[in-house]
Each structure stands twice: as C-alpha cells, then as structure tokens.
Structure 1
Amino acid sequence: MGSIPRRSVLAAAGIVLAAPRMARAQGGQLAIGTGTTGGVYYPVGGALANMISRGIPGMSATVEVTGGSVGNLQLLGANRVGLIFSQVDAAVDAVRGNDRFKGRPVPARAIAVIYTNRMQVVSTVATGIKSIPDMKGKRISTGAPGSATEVMALRLIEAAGLDPAKDFRARERLSPAESTNAVKDGKLDAYFFVSGIPTSAITDLGASPGVEIQMIDHDTYTAKIVEKYGPVYFNEVIPAGTYPGQKTDNKQMSVANVLAVREDMPADMVTKLLRLTWEGREELARTHAEARNFKLEGQKTAAAGIPWHPAAEAFWRETGANLG
C-alpha cells in the first residue's frame, strides 16, 4: 500500500459499529444504512429519514454513515439497521451467502428499485491514463472498505487482466471525497466510485483549478463480468458535460440500486415505509436528481435481483407495477 493516511477498516466503520440496534423500528426508532458522505445514498437517505420521522407518528429515523452496500448488508444481517440502500450485485451475494458473505447469508428482501448506480473510473489528463490497463504501475483507490464500489472495481480490474495485489504501485481503499483530495494533492492517479450522477466528489475534482478530468471508458469488459457473476450489470453512458471539464461521453458499466429490509420486518411497517417513500419521491428528487429515476416502470423482479418482501410485492402490484 502507499503512504496516503487513511482510516483502518475498523476506524472507517467506526460510526457504523456504534449504530444502535433498531432494525425493526423497535421503540419507534429506525436506523437507515446509507454510504459515504460524498455519494448519493447519504443525502437521499437523510431526506428519507426526515420524511419518515415526520410522516409516521411516533417514529424517529436516523441515518448511518457507512462504507456502502456491503457494510449495510452486514449491518442488516446483524439486525443493527432496519432499512438500507444497496447495489443489486452486493445484495445478491448477501442473500446467496457468496463472496464476503460466505457462510453468513443475509435475509435481505427488496422493497423498491430506486435508480441506477454508475461505475465511474476517474483520473486526470495529466496522468496519461486512458484505459484500465493504463493503470498498471499507478496509484489507485478501489473504494471505501465495506463498499460495493470495491466489489465492482475488483471485478472490473480482473476482467481487464490486471492483478489488484501486484499490478499497482499502490491500491488504496478511500472514500470518493478522500480520493478526490488525494488526486488534487498528487498522491493518487485514479479512483473507482460507483454512485448515481452527478457525484459531488467527482464534481469537486473536475472543478478544481488546473485539473482536467479524465473519465475512463470500460464498457468493453461488461460481458466478461456478466458471464462470471450473472446478469446484474449493464452498459450505460454518462453524457459529456455531466462533470466540469468532461469533454466526451463516458461509456461505462452500471448496476441497479434497491431499498431493502430484513425478511422479518412486519408487513404493516413495510407498507408504511413504501407508501411514504413513493408519495414523497418529489421531495427526494429535490435532494438529488437521481431520485427522479425512482419510477413505477423500474419495479421489476429481475431488476431487484433479490426476492421481494411480500408486503412490497403486494404494494407494487396494487400501485400498478408490472413486476414481470
């Protein structure tokens, strides 16, 4: 590893480890697992927590800053949070007990498909990096510990024929905000981050004086990754101009996001949470534009990746969704 100061895995999860045990909204409290402060999960989760606290009498919802999807699912499995944001790929692994959840499957159930997460591979023109293979020998970050960014980044690196343990001068595990600061300080050459768009940390990098941002195309590796890990990924494009200084479209790999709860959450609570979230989607969209992609036509069983909570399945059918 390089010499960039960073928190240990335990310290990075410190605020999570202190999270109260309130998975089932016991005592009128509900903890929501989100992500890092530089992404989309956190601000949208904050808006959702405010809506829940206002809209369900006697309920107080709080937001937990976490590493992201993997950490959220682990907390859900430990019954320490009651509602989480997660990428579908991590949720599928968790339910099946694969990869980081080996031997510890999580009883997660989808309640809504919310929006698409984009894999964003970020560098600057000054580094000379124009492709994933160009990263060999460079200093990179594959995302915060406990994040689905790290899972997806390692799968992408593998598909490109690189060894994450040997082929980089340094492989850090930083949040997007930390990664941006490290790039600006000349301590990092590129980083991976999976999120909705635009992401504040990447916007910050693109707007920095003297920096010309370089978004790395990687859509050519998607088919190989799907062949090994299943059809949870698909290609999309981040349009030119999404970020300051982004001159061309970025051809990248995406994955859907879900809101998930434990399978044993009471049906009436799931229905209340869903009704409030669906009816308040415009408020969520005022917090971040990605929330506008929370749509009825997006509620598909295939997109959710994991089984629906029965109350959520009933809610969406009654609302008019064609779950497929």
Structure 2
Amino acid sequence: MTPRIRSLAFILALLFVSACEGGARRQFMSIGTAGTGGIYYPIGGAIASRLSVADSSRQYTAEVTGGSVENVNRMVNGQMDLAFALPVTLYEAYNGSETFPEPIKNLRILAPLYANMTHIMVGPGSRVQSISELKGTRVAVGPPGSGTEQIAKQVLEAHGVTYDDIDVRYLSFAEAAAALKDRALDAAIISVGYPASAVLDATTTGDARLIGVDSVSAAALIERHPYYSWDVIPAGAYPGQEEELLTLSQMNWIVSLDTLPDDVVDALLTIVTADRPELARVHPMAGLIDLRRLQDTPIPVHAEVERWLAAHPDAVQAPVTP
C-alpha cells in the first residue's frame, strides 16, 4: 500500500468512526400509539417524524401497540417515553384500580388530541337496534386490557349487558372489521375518532352498520364517570349512515412520566400547535387539537406544559375544522 493510499484509508476510517460516534449520540425515543386500524398510529407517526426533524439529538418512532393500558404500563417499565391514552385509563392509572393496583402518581399530561367516539357496529343482516339486544351475541371489545376494552365494558354494563351475557372477543380494530365482514362476529365496540379506517372498511365492503347509545343509559354512565361526554357521529360519516347517531366520547391525551425532559415537551407543544394544519392533512382529527382543553384534565399536567403555555399565550387557538 502506497503512503498516499494509506493516508486516504486513515482519513476514511476517521470519518467512519466519527459518523458512528455521532449516530450513537442520538437518543431513540418511542411513542406508544395503538393498532393500525385506528387514528392514534398515523397521527403518532406524523408527530414522531416532525419531532425527529425538530430535535437533532433524538430519533422518535411511533410504535404499534394494544392501546392506552399497554402504553401506560410500558412507560412505567421504561420501554416507552411518550404515549397516547384515554382518560379512563389515565384516571385509573393515577388513582389506582383493578387494572392498575399501584397508583402511578408520576404520570403526566402533555397535550390534548381529539375526542374518541364510541362506535358500536353490528354485522351485515343483523336485526340488533340497541346495545341491550347484544345479549347472546359475539362482541369484539378491543385488545385485552386496552382503553377501548375498558370503555366497552362500561358502556355494555350501562345498558344492562355484562361479559357473562355475551361471547367476548378481544380483537384489534382491523381484526374486528375483518371478522364482521366474514360473519365471524356479531358486533364490535370501537373507541376511535372518525372517520376510522376499520369502521370504513366494515361499512363499505362488509355492509356493517352503526347503532347509537340509549340516552337514559348513557346519562347514568356520565353521572358515574364524568370523563365521558355526550357526542354524535354525524350523518354521512360512514357509508349507509343516513342519520346522526347519539354516542359517547372521551378526549385523547398525549402523556409521559414527569421525568420527560423539558425540551422534549417544548418541541411537542410547538409541533401540535404550529404544525397542526399539516398534521390535519395526515388525518383530519388532528385538526381538532385544542390546548384550551388543558384547563380540564383527568390527571396533572407536566410542569413544563404550564411554563410553555405562559410563554406562548398566542399558541392557544381554535381548532381546525376537519
């Protein structure tokens, strides 16, 4: 090897080592979402991509998960850094419950997302018109232990239906849609923003249809669990839906533990406000992000959120119409 070639090889080796060391210094951050048939995952992916650009010291990735409960548990176990979750999960996790025997007092809210609508689908040809008529049928309630499953159980019980009354199927949104189309399932309860790909799939190609909640039963549920709100799925949201449907909703939240670095919180809040129109092009529900909802949260917010809001009063704006 000539001296010139040796010198060139040495320089290339130094560049390679430098590149490796530079790459090693970039910290990997994980964002827990849910299944691919819902809305968490595409919005989570869009936020992760923008965070990775805004924060040169970290690489963010959106993970497919079983949803809210898994996300919170994996954050506590150090397997995730941020997550999307429903208030029923956050309330039970922070205060302790059967699902979370040990209260997670260091759980914190970072930002609101959009409201999850409770979708109750019945299969093609079904004569079921109300939730109370689901007794004796095969009902998908979401992945086991997920936020959707927590909601499904409460909604069913509010209408006089327990798990003992039905054949419970623990399926993801996409799996439930496929099972409805194959007539391997009679009904599915899905908590998701609209329009949801799994619901579109089942109603477009599988002739599934949506039914609403009973107003008296739903009112009693809201009285017991105030993190529920009245809502409607508008007419025309899905194929064959000619009238608006009365339903229940819950706000989705982006959460972390209280140890999440302040600069990550700052970057996230900047993205969900400044980049909201771009996020809404990924999915229209992202256009409903409204920081005014931080005035009413099921658990405490991260300390940096309060500091950021004080420094950016103009960032609190009305949501973009989807």
Structure 1 position 228 matched with structure 2 position 231: no
RMSD: 1.8
Structure 1 position 141 matched with structure 2 position 140: yes
Q: Secondary structure at the match of 1:299?
A: helix
Residues in 1 aligned to 2:279 and 2:75: alpha-carbon distance in whole angstroms: 23
Query: Partner of 2:40 in structure 1?
Result: 41
Unaligned runs of 5+ in 2: 1-24, 318-322
| Code of the aligned partner of 2:259 | D
Q: TM-score, normalised by structure 1?
A: 0.85
Residues in 2 aligned to 1:214 and 1:52: alpha-carbon distance in whole angstroms: 37
Query: Partner of 1:294 in structure 2?
Result: 289
Alpha-carbon contact 2:114-2:285 (below 8 Å) kept: yes
Query: Partner of 1:172 in structure 2?
Result: 169
Q: Which moved more, 1:59-68 or 1:218-227?
A: 218-227
1:75-129 deviation digits (Å, cap 9, x = unpaired)? 1111211110111121111111223011252521001111111111111461111
| Code of the aligned partner of 1:289 | P
Query: Partner of 1:8 in structure 2?
Result: none
Query: Partner of 1:310 in structure 2?
Result: 303
Residues in 2 aligned to 1:212 and 1:63: alpha-carbon distance in whole angstroms: 30
Alignment of 1:163-312 (within 5 A): 163-164=162-163, 166-168=164-166, 170-208=167-205, 211=207, 213-229=209-225, 231-300=226-295, 302=296, 304-312=297-305
Q: Cα 1:44–1:218, aligned 2, differ >3 Å: closer, same or farther?
A: farther
1:263-302 deviation digits (Å, cap 9, x = unpaired)? 11122321122223322212211110000100243332x2
Query: Partner of 1:23 in structure 2?
Result: none
Residues in 1 aligned to 2:271 and 2:86: alpha-carbon distance in whole angstroms: 22
Q: Secondary structure at the match of 2:31?
A: strand
Alpha-carbon contact 1:124-1:214 (below 8 Å) kept: no
Structure 1 position 150 matched with structure 2 position 143: no
Q: TM-score, normalised by structure 2?
A: 0.86
Residues in 2 aligned to 1:141 and 1:148: alpha-carbon distance in whole angstroms: 13
Structure 1 position 82 matched with structure 2 position 81: yes
1:192-239 deviation digits (Å, cap 9, x = unpaired)? 010111100100111116x2523333443233223333x100110001
Residues in 1 aligned to 2:199 and 2:97: alpha-carbon distance in whole angstroms: 31
Residues in 1 aligned to 2:141 and 2:187: alpha-carbon distance in whole angstroms: 9
Alpha-carbon contact 2:110-2:254 (below 8 Å) kept: yes
Q: Report the Cα offset of residue 154 of structure 1.
A: 0.3
Residues in 2 aligned to 1:220 and 1:42: alpha-carbon distance in whole angstroms: 34
- The structure having more radius of gyration, on CA atoms, is 2
1:7-33 deviation digits (Å, cap 9, x = unpaired)? xxxxxxxxxxxxxxxxxxx95211000
Residues in 1 aligned to 2:262 and 2:245: alpha-carbon distance in whole angstroms: 41
Query: Partner of 2:3 in structure 1?
Result: none
Aligned residues: 291
Amino-acid identity (%): 33
Residues in 1 aligned to 2:124 and 2:245: alpha-carbon distance in whole angstroms: 14
| Code of the aligned partner of 1:187 | A
Alignment of 1:9-28 (within 5 A): 27-28=26-27
Unaligned runs of 5+ in 1: 1-25
Alpha-carbon contact 2:26-2:59 (below 8 Å) kept: no
Q: Cα 1:219–1:285, aligned 2, differ >3 Å: closer, same or farther?
A: farther
Residues in 2 aligned to 1:220 and 1:290: alpha-carbon distance in whole angstroms: 28
Alpha-carbon contact 1:113-1:298 (below 8 Å) kept: yes
Q: Secondary structure at the match of 1:253?
A: strand
Alpha-carbon contact 2:124-2:209 (below 8 Å) kept: yes
